Amino acid sequence: MDRKSLCWTLLVVVSSSSLIPLTNAAASEPSYCDSDASYPVKVESVDIDPSPVVSGAPATFKISAISDEALSGGKLSIDVFFYGVRVHTENHDLCTKTTCPIEKGSFVLTHSQSLPGFTPAGSYKLKMKLIDVDDKQLTCVNINFKIVRGSLVAQI
């Protein structure tokens, strides 16, 4: 390939790649922990921003769900797995992640967190459980996401 053809090829590749929209947020398809269970809370969607998650930077998980019943409160339990090994566990008051009481119908949970800069890049699974005030499990979903390394310069 001569120099002129190579320049035209590069120009076409660069031009066409700029037509592809880039986004910082992405939806993740959750899967229920027990596909045979009938959970009172159904998770409709999970939006992760940014996607992929960047080590050393804040990330927000926005979970849209529908409840078959009104909820006065409860607990949000999160376990994070890296290559099948649990690497992190958190528990939160449900009312710190959404407005309580939760009426029957649609609601949104939002959880934000900054990951340490040394967080390894790779594929992760987040297991999220909602538990009511009587310790009844309302839902359990698995959410797959990726973490990429952030710039060390940006962390200084």
Is 39:142 a contact under the CB 8 Å cutoff?
Answer: no
The pLDDT value given to residue 29 = 85
**Whole-structure pTM value:** 0.76
Q: Is residue 18 part of a domain?
A: no
Is 128:120 a contact under the CB 8 Å cutoff?
Answer: no
The pLDDT value given to residue 93 = 97
Q: Is residue 8 part of a domain?
A: no
Q: Which amino acid is at 113?
A: Q
Full residue range of the structural domain in which residue 68 is found: 23-148
Sorted by sequence, the CB contacts under 8 Å of residue 28 that are 6+ apart come out as 46, 47, 48, 51, 143, 144, 145
pLDDT tens sequence across 31-73? 999 999 999 999 999 999 999 999 999 999 999 999 999 999 9
User: How many folded domains does the chain comprise?
Assistant: 1
Give SS3 for 10. Answer: helix
Mean pLDDT of 5-18: 32
> Does the pLDDT of residue 136 top 50, yes or no?
yes
Instruction: Name the average pLDDT for the chain.
Output: 83
Q: Is residue 134 part of a domain?
A: yes
Is 67:105 a contact under the CB 8 Å cutoff?
Answer: yes
CATH number, residue 117: 2.70.220.10
d(Cα 141, Cα 35) in Å, to the nearest integer?
10
Residue 8 sits at φ, ψ, to 5 deg, of -65, -40
Residue 4 sits at φ, ψ, to 5 deg, of -65, -45
Q: Is residue 60 part of a domain?
A: yes
pLDDT tens sequence across 93-112? 999 999 999 999 999 999 99
